Structure 1
Amino acid sequence: MNESPDRLYELLPAVHRVRDAERGYPLRALLRVIGEQADVIEKDIARLYDNWFIETCDDWVVPYIGDLIGYRAVQDVSNAGTKSSAEATRSLNKVLVPRRDVAATLGSRRRKGTLALLELLANNVTGWPARAVEFYTLLGWTQHLDHQRRDRGRTADLRDGHALDLVNTPFEQLAHTVDVRRIQSRHSSGRHNIPTVGVFVWRLRSYSVTHAPAYCVENQGAQYFTFSVLGNDSPLYTRPEPQGDPTHIADEVNLPTAIRRRALEERLGLRPLRAKASATYYGAQKSIAIYAPGWPAKGAPQPIPANLVIPADLTDWHYRAPRQRVAVDPVLGRIVFPDKQLPKHGVWVTYHYAFSADMGGGEYPRVLSQPASFALYRVTKDKPGPDTSETINAALVRWRTDQTALGPEPDLTEEKELWRQAKEELRAAVIQIEDSSVYSESLTIELEAGESLQLRAANRTRPIIRLIDNATDRPDAFAISGKKASRFKLDGLMVAGRGLQVNGPDCSDRERAAEGDLCDVIIRHSTLIPGWELESGCEPKRPNEPSLELFQTRAKIIVEASIIGSIYVSANEVQTDPVDISISDSIVDATSEALVAIGAPCLPLAFARLSIVRSTVIGAVNTHAIMLGENSIFMSLVRVGRRQTGCMRFCYVTPDSRTPQRYHCQPDHVVAALNDLEPTLAADEKEKARQRESERVRPRFGSIHYGMSAYCQLAPDCAEEISAGAEDESEMGVFHDLFSPQRTANLRARLDEYTPAGMEAGILLEN
C-alpha cells in the first residue's frame, strides 16, 4: 500500500498540479484530507480477514467471537472511567474478555473438572500465575495398611527442613485436621475440608536486573555485598520456568516466588557438611548469577560456578565464608566473600525482584518515542566501542561538538538543504544508555532555544544515575535549564543520591528572562529514589529531601508511570503564573505521611496547578490549585489555595482536607450514607460512627517503604470502597489500571463454571 499522503494528488494531470502550485496548493491540502479517510477504509478492509480469527483479530472483535461460542463476560464496559473513553474501554475490555480465555474456551469445557485446568483458567482469565491445591489431600486420616497413599498429607517430621519451610504456603506437604469453614466465606475463610479447592494466585511480577553492579557494604566490611545497588535488603525471586506438560501442577520454580535458602541449597553430603547452589536457580540464564572477574583466580570462569556458591543465613552479617567460596542469602539478597580473598575487579549480579506493575526504572518493555529527526548518542560501560561513550557527560560533549563542527550556513544552494537537515537533526538529541550499569557523575544540562534532549534507557535495561556529593561550595544535583521552546525528557532511568532540579530564568535578570524558559520536562517510567538513598531495611537515608525541585521555572512538568519523592516548588507569585504539574499512574512518596509530598520550602502553599490521576500520594499536598484529582489516593492532608477551581472525583482524601469540589470521594461517601441510614442517632453517637467509618475505609498497604515488593499495593483487607472504589469499579491509586477487582470477579465466575459438582473453589492471594 502506498503510504504517501499525496498519492491522490499525484494522480492528477500535471496541468492541474501546476495551477494548484500557483495558488498555494489548496487542492493538495483537500486531497490529503480525503486520502487520510481513504487510507482508513483500505486498512479496515485489509483487516477483515484477520478479524475472523481469535489469534489475529482486533481487541474489539474478541467479545463477538466469544459470543459465537457462548462465552459470557462477567461485567460490561459501559462505565469506561478514566483516560479517553475509547482507550479506557479497550483497556478494560482486555481484562473482562481475555483473548486467551476465549481462545481456550472449547478446550476448557472438554477438560472440565481437572485440577490443572483451574491453573490454566487463572492464567488465561487474569494473567496471574497460579497453583491449584485440593485440600482434601492434606487432611490427616488413618490409612489402610494395604492401600497406603504416600503422596497425601503426613505428620510433621522435625528433621525435614524443606517440609517445615513450606508450612502455610501453597506447597505445603503436612497434614491438617478438618476445617469446617467455607473457603468462600467473606468473614473467616477456611481451607482444609473434603470439598475445598484453593487457587493460589501471585499478583506480583518477577522483574530482572541483568549484569548490574553489586553494592559493597563498607561499614560492615569490604567482603560484604548486597544484590541491590542501593544497598538495601532485597529478597530474590524466581525467574519462572514454563510448564511443559499441560497436566502438570505448578511448582516453586514455575512461579514468581521468593527463593528460600533451602530451595537454593543442594546438599553434597553431611560429614562434613557440604552444599552448593542449586542449578535450578543459580547460573547464566537462571534466577541468580554472580560475576567477579578474576575471582577466585585469574581467568576463572564467569559467572562464579555453582559449586563455589554456598546458600547461607547472613542475618546481621554473622558469617565468614570459607576460602574460595562465596556465601549467598536469597532471603535478604546478601553476598559474603572470604575476608582474605576479596574480589579485586568488582562484583556484578543478575537477579530478579518482585513488584506489582511496569512502573519506574526497570528492565521491562516500554514504548520508546522520539522526534521524527534526531541525533542518537549511545552510552555503555559493558560493551564500549568507537560509536559509544562511557559516561553521560561524554555524550553531552559529543553532541555539542557535533553542533560546533557543523559550522555556519554554506553559501551554495545545493549544500544549504543538507546543512539545514543536519542542523535540524542536531537540535534534537537522544542519549540512550544501553546497559544496567551505575553512572556516578554530576549532570548540569543547559538547552538552547528550540533544542530537545531525551535522556533514556534502552528497552529492557535499568541504568542508575548516582549523584555524588563532590562540591563543597554548592549543592550537587541533576540540574536542568533551558531557553525558549526547549524540552527535556527523562525516560526509563533511576536517579539516586540527589534529586532533580529544574531551573528557570531569574526574573531580576531581564536579559536572561527575555530568552525564555523550558517548554516542558517529562519524567516517564523513571524512579527518583524517595529519600535519595536507602538503609538496609528500606528506610530512607534522607527522608526530608525532595526528589524534584522547581526553581522559578515556567516549564510544564509531566510525570508518567514513575516513582518520585517530594516535589518542591519555588516560584515568583507576582510576576509569573502557577507552574503546571501533571502526574499520572505514579507514586509521589514523601517517605512519611507526616512530611510534605508536594509543597514549597518556607511557604504554606506551592505556587502550582496540579492535575493528578490514578496515582498514590504519601505525604501532605499543599498547592495553589488542583485542576483535577481522579481515582487517586491522598494519604495526608490536602490544602489548596483556590477551592473554586478544579474538582476531585473518586479519590480518597484525608478528612479535614481543604480541596476543590469533591464528587464520590471517600470517606465523604460512606459518612453521607451513614447519615442517611441513621438519622435518629444522638450527636455524639453519630460522631463516633463517622470516625469508625472513616477509619474503616482508610487505605491499607502491603508496605509504604520503597524497595519492598508490596510497595503501595493495597492490602487484602483494605476496604472495598477503596479496592473497588474507582470510577470503573477498579481500585483507587497507582495500580488502578491493573484492574484487579475485575480480574478477581472474572476468575471467580470461571471457577464456579468449571469446578466439579460438589466442590467449592476459592481464590487465595499469595501476594
Structure 2
Amino acid sequence: MSAQAEGGRAMSARADRLFDLLPVVYRMRDAEQGYALRDFLRVLSSQVEVIEQDIARLYGNAFIETCDDWVVPYIGDLLGYTLLPEAATLGADGGRDGGLGRVLAPRADVANTIDARRRKGTLSLLEDLSRDAAGWPARAVEFYRRLGWMQHLDHLHPRRGGTADLRDPGRLQRLGWANGAFDPFAHSVDLRRLGSAHRRGRHNIPAVGVFACRLRSYPVSCTPAYCIEERGPHCFSFSVLGNDTPLFQRPVAETEPTHIADERNLPLPQRRWRFAERGVLADYASVAAELYGDGRSVQLWAPDWPAKGQGVPVPREALIPADLSGWGGQVKRGRVAVDPERGRLLFPANQRPKRGVWVSYQYGFAADLGGGEYARVTPELEGATRYVVHATRPDRAANASWPAGHFGSVAEALAAWAAAKAATPALHALIIELAESGVYEGSLDLQLDAGEAIQLRAAERTRPVLRLLDVRASQPDALSVSGHAGSRVLLDGLLIVGRGVEVHGPAEEDDAPTGDLCELVIRHCTLVPGWALQCDCDPKRPGEPSVTFDRTRAALRVSHSILGAIMVISPEQRGEPPPLELCDSILDATGMERVALGAPDEAVAYVKASFRRCTVIGAVQAHGIVLAEDSIFASPLRVLRRQQGCVRFCYVADGSRTPRRFHCQPDLALAAVVPEQRAHERLRVVPQVRSRRYGTPHYLRLADGCCAEIRRGASDRSAMGVWHDLYEPQREANLAARLTEYVPAGTDAGILFAT
C-alpha cells in the first residue's frame, strides 16, 4: 500500500476516535441511518485535536529548548536577559518577522544566560557570546598581550608578540590576515578607544577585540572541475564556472569550552602557507593532512591518473601548494599544483588527466541564496511521479545501468515521462530530482499539456549544475518552456549556466489556442548573470538575459535566487499585465548602464512587477509596480503606470519615475538638508558594495563604510536589499550589548570583522 493511502487511513482513524468509543449497537444504528452521528463526532474530534495540541504546546513552552519563538523573550525576561529596544516592536506571535524575533532574542543566548554569568570575565566566553547572540563564529583577542614591552629576565613570556622576522614569510602573512585576528607581532600603544564611534584604536591595555566571521563556508561535493582550455588542457579551475574562487576551510569544532579559536576553527579563506606541509628543506612538500582528504576542506579525483586504476582519489602526497596566478611553472610528473587562494589546479603538460577531474571544496558566501548545498524547504507536487537523474562520477562507470525510475540524463527522464503519459493519460505531475552535485548537460525543451506540472529540483543538500550547451548553430539552445492552460514549471535548487530560460507563448497561427503556461517558479536557483564567467568573474555574455518571456502571459515568481536580466516580449492580445514577483533575490544585469527588466521592442516590459528585499543592478522599465519594499534599485526605476502601487523603504536611483514613495532614500536625506548641501548628500547616500561580480564571496554585500541610511534603512531597521534577512545591524547591536554586560569593569571591548 502506498504511503499516501496509509496516511489517509491514519487520519481517518484519528477523526473517528470518538465514534469508536461508542457501543457497537449505536454504531450499527448510525450505519443504518447514513452515519449522521459519525459525521457529527468527526467535527467534535477536530476541535478536541486543537485543544490537545494547545495543551501540548503549553507544556513545551515551559522549556527553552522546545518553546515557540515568541516565548523566548518571556523566558529571557524571567532570567533578567536584557533585550534590545527593537524587541518592543515585536508582536505577540514573535514579531512582524520570525527571523527578526530570533535575532533580537536568540534562543541559544537565552539558554546559556546562567552559564555565561558564571563565566563572566573570561576570554573564551566572548567567543561563545558572538556565536550565541549574533550567530557569528569569532576569535577573542586581548590586545595588551600584543604590546611591545621589556620583559623581566626572571619572568619571560616567549609566546608574547615580538619583532618581525623577515625570513619567516608565514608569520608575516598573518600580519593583515583576517583583519589582524592572528597578528603575531608586538605593537606600540594606541591610545584611541576600541569602542569609539569615530577613529578606533586597537593596541591598548584595556582593549579586547572580538573578530567575528560573517561569511559562511559552504561545501561543494564531488563536482567536475572546469578545464581552462584557453590556457591549456592541463589547467583547471575548482569552480565549475571557470572563475577564480578562494577556497575556504571547513571549520573544526572546538573540543574545550575554554579554548580560544584558532584559524582551523573559523570559516576563513585558506592561505598557501597554511595549506602547505613544510618539508625538511622548508619547501612546499605537500598539502597539510588536516586540510585534504575525505570530510576535510579539499579533495580531488582524477580517474586513471597518473596510471590506470589510480587517482580515485588523488593521494595527498601528489599535491603541491603553489602560486598559479600566471598559470606558469612546470609540474613534475605524478604531481598536481594547487593554488588555494585562487582555486586553480595545474597538471603536468605531458601527463594530463584524460577522464576529467572532480573536486570537493568549500567556498565562502554570506547566506543561503541561489543554488547551494544547504538545507531548504522544497514543496512537493501532489500526486506526482518522481524520477531520479544521476550525474557522472569518478567512481561510476559511464555506461552504468539504472533501476526503474532512475536515469542517466534529464532528456531520458523526459522521454520516459512522455511514454508514461501516452500509456496513462491521467498523469499530470512530474518531479525530476537531480541526485548529485554534478553537471547535467544538454538542451531541454519542456512542452506541457493542460494542467500539467513539472518540477526540476535538486536533491537535499546538493548543488546540481544544469549546463545548457550551444549545440545548434542556427537556433537558440536555451531551456525552452511552453505550455497550455493551467500548466506550471518549477525550478528548485539549480545552478544554470551556458544559456538562459525562455518561456514561449502559444503560436500565433494556432486556430484554436489551448491556453498558455500558467506560471514559472524559480526557488533557490542561480541563473548565472552573463551565462558564464571569465577567470576574474567578469561575465562572458553580459548582454544576454537569464529569463526571456516571448509572447506569453505566464507569471514569474522568483525567491531566494540569483539571476541576470529579464526580457519581456509582449503578445499581441495583451489584456491585464501578468505578474512578475521577486523576493529575497538578486536581479543583476552585469552593469549599471544595462537593463535588468525591460522589453527589446518596447519602452517598458508589459508586467506588474513586485520586489521585496531585492537588490537590482541595472535599469528597471516596467508597466507597473505593485509593491517595492526594502529593496535597492542601483539604476533608474521607470514605471509607466504611476497611479497604482507603492515604493517603500527602498533606495531609488536618481532619474527614476515611480509610483508614490514612502520613507525612501535619498529622498529623506535630501529633505533633511538645505538645498546647497543636496549635491553632496546625494553622493553620500549611495549603496556601497564590496563586489559587483557574481562568483566573489562578497557579492553585492554592503560595505561597512556604507551610510546608515542604507545599512539601517529597511522597514525594520535592517539593511536594504537582498541581505536584509541577515539582520546584521541587529546582530551587531545585540553582541555589543552582551559584551558590555560580560566583560570586566574598565575593559574596552569592541567588535572587529575578520570577514
Bin the TM-score by the shorter chain.
over 0.9
Contact 1:546 1:568 in 2 (8 A): yes
Q: Which residue of structure 2 lines up, in the alignment, with residue 738 of structure 1?
A: 726
* 2:292 partner letter: Y
Q: Distance in 2 between matches of 1:135 and 1:714?
A: 28
Aligned equivalent of 2:410: 392
Q: Does 1:627 align with 2:626?
A: yes
Distance 2:569 2:43 in 1: 46
Name stretches of at least 5 consecutive residues in structure 1 with no aligned partner.
408-422, 679-685
Partner of residue 308, structure 1:
318
Q: What is the CA-CA distance between 1:468 and the residue it aligns to?
A: 1.1
1:185-200 correspondence runs (5 A): 185-200=196-211
Match of 2:115 in 1: 107
Contact kept, 8 Å, 1:628 with 1:646, in 2: the verdict is: yes
How many Å apart are 1:427 and its aligned residue? 1.1
| 2:230 paired with 1:219 | yes
Q: What is the identity, as a one-letter code, of the residue corresponding to 2:254?
A: Q
Q: Does residue 150 of structure 1 match 2:158?
A: yes
User: 1:66-465, aligned counterparts within 5 Å?
Assistant: 66-79=76-89, 88-168=96-176, 169-270=180-281, 273=283, 275-300=285-310, 302-381=312-391, 382=393, 385-387=402-404, 388-406=406-424, 423=426, 426-465=427-466
SS for the counterpart of 1:52 is coil
Task: Name the structure 1 match of 2:23.
Answer: none
Amino acid at match of 1:366: R
Q: 1: CA distance between counterparts of 2:136 and 2:572?
A: 49
Hey, what does 1:747 align to over in structure 2?
735
- After superposition, residues 629-644 of structure 1 pair within 5 angstroms as 629-644=628-643
Is 2:708 the partner of 1:690? no
Structure 2: 5+ residue stretches without partners:
1-6, 21-25
Q: Give the partner amino acid of 2:289.
A: A
The answer on whether the counterparts of 2:447 and 2:482 sit within 8 Å (CA) in structure 1 is yes
Give the SS at the match of 1:123: helix
Query: Secondary structure at the residue paired with 1:46?
Result: helix
SS in 2 for 1:609: strand
> Residue by residue, what CA displacement relative to the aligned partner does 1:387-439 show, whole Å, maximum 9, x if unpaired?
311111111111111222337xxxxxxxxxxxxxxx3xx31110000101111
Q: For residue 552 of structure 1, what is the aligned residue in structure 2?
A: 551
In structure 2, distance between residues paired with 1:521 and 1:286: 38
Q: What CA distance in whole angstroms lies between the structure 2 residues aligned with 1:87 and 1:311?
A: 50
Q: Once the two structures are aligned, what percentage of the paired residues are identical?
A: 50
Give the distance between the partners of 1:97 and 1:40, measured in 2 at CA: 28
Q: Which residue of 2 aligns with 1:719?
A: 707
Aligned residues: 730
Q: Aligned letter for 1:68?
A: L
In 2: Cα distance, 1:669 partner to 1:317 partner:
51
Using the alignment, how far apart are the partners of 1:397 and 1:739 within structure 2? 46
User: Which amino acid in the other structure matches residue 245 of structure 2?
Assistant: S
Structure 1 position 6, deviation (Å): 4.0
Note the C-alpha offset of 1:145: 1.9
Please name the residue that 1:420 is paired with.
none
TM-score w.r.t. length of structure 2? 0.94
Segment of structure 1 superposing worse, 465-474 or 659-668: 465-474
1:504 matched to 2:515: no
Which residue number in structure 2 is paired with residue 682 of structure 1? none
Residues 554-582 of structure 1: CA deviation (Å, up to 9, x unaligned): 11110000000000011136533212101
Bigger mean CA deviation after superposition, 627-636 or 336-345: 336-345
Q: SS at 1:753's partner residue?
A: helix
In 2, the alpha carbon distance for the partners of 1:731 and 1:368 equals 27
CA separation of 1:28/1:234 partners in 2, compared to 1, >3 Å: closer, same or farther?
Answer: farther
- 1:218–1:28: structure 2 CA closer, same or farther, 3 Å change rule? farther
Deviation at 1:35, TM superposition (A): 4.4
1:596-649 Cα shifts (integer Å, max 9, x gaps)? 000011321000100110110000000000000000000000100000010010
In the alignment, is the contact (CA less than 8 A) between 2:19 and 2:38 conserved in 1? no
CA distance in 1 between counterparts of 2:723 and 2:93 reads 19
How far did 1:269 drift?
1.8
Q: Is the 8 A contact 1:77 1:89 kept in 2?
A: no
CA distance in 2, matches of 1:226, 1:93: 41
- Does the residue aligned with 2:211 lie in a helix, a strand or coil? strand
- For residues 189 and 580 of structure 1, the distance between their equivalents in structure 2, rounded to whole angstroms, comes to 49
Q: 1:386 is aligned with what amino acid?
A: P
SS in 1 for 2:254: coil
Contact 1:6–1:28 under 8 Å retained in 2: no
Structure 2 CA distance for partners of 1:481 and 1:17, relative to 1, 3 Å: farther
Using the TM superposition, give the Cα deviation of residue 36 of structure 1 relative to its aligned residue in structure 2, in angstroms. 3.9
Deviations 1:113-137 (A, max 9, x none): 1110000000010111100011111
Shift of 1:10: 4.6
How far apart are residue 239 of structure 1 and its match?
0.4
Alignment-mate amino acid for residue 286 of structure 2: K
1:483 is matched with 484
Equivalence for 1:416: none
Q: 1:371 to 1:32 in 2, by over 3 A?
A: farther
Q: Distance in 1 between matches of 2:387 and 2:589?
A: 34
Q: Secondary structure at the match of 1:48?
A: helix
What is the Cα deviation at residue 185 of structure 1? 1.5
Shift of 1:334: 0.2
Instruction: Confirm or deny: 8 A CA contact 2:551 2:572 kept in the other structure.
Output: no
**Closer, same or farther: CA 522–641 of 1 in aligned 2, 3 Å:** same
Cα distance in 1 for partners of 2:31, 2:543 equals 66
> Do the aligned partners of residues 278 and 29 (structure 1) sit closer, same or farther apart at CA in structure 2, a change above 3 Å counting?
same
2-side partners of 1:712 and 1:517: how far apart? Answer: 36
* Residue identity matched to 2:216: R
Change (3 A) 1:141 1:51: same
Deviation at 1:18, TM superposition (A): 6.2
Question: For 1:455, what is the secondary structure of its paired residue?
Answer: strand
Structure 1 residues 725 and 315: alpha-carbon distance in aligned structure 2, compared to 1, 3 A threshold: same
Q: 1:67 to 1:217 in 2, by over 3 A?
A: same
CA deviation profile, 1:311-357 (whole Å, cap 9, x unmatched): 00001101211111100000000000111111111100000001111
Describe the superposition over 1:232-274 as per-residue Cα deviations: whole angstroms up to 9, x where unpaired: 0000001001000111111111101000000001112218x45
In the alignment, the residues of structure 2 paired with residue 228 and residue 447 of structure 1 have an alpha-carbon distance, to the nearest angstrom, of 34
Per-residue deviation at 1:509?
Answer: 2.8
Distance, in Å, in 2 between the alignment partners of 1:574 and 1:621 is 23
Report the CA distance shift for 1:37/1:86 in structure 2 as closer, same or farther (over 3 A).
Answer: farther
Q: Which amino acid aligns with 2:270?
A: I
Separation in structure 1 between the aligned mates of residue 267 and residue 625 of structure 2, nearest angstrom: 39
What do you get for the CA RMSD once the two structures are aligned?
Answer: 2.0
Indicate the residue corresponding to 2:592 in structure 1: 593
Hey, what does 2:467 align to over in structure 1? 466
Corresponding residue SS for 1:511 = coil
Deviation at 1:69, TM superposition (A): 1.4
- Which residue of structure 2 aligns with residue 615 of structure 1? 614
Distance 1:32 1:727 in 2: 45
SS in 1 for 2:587: strand
Q: Aligned pair 1:766/2:750, yes or no?
A: no
Give distance in 2, aligned partners of 1:331 and 1:542: 26
Deviates more, 1:472-481 or 1:205-214: 472-481
Change (3 A) 1:116 1:722: same
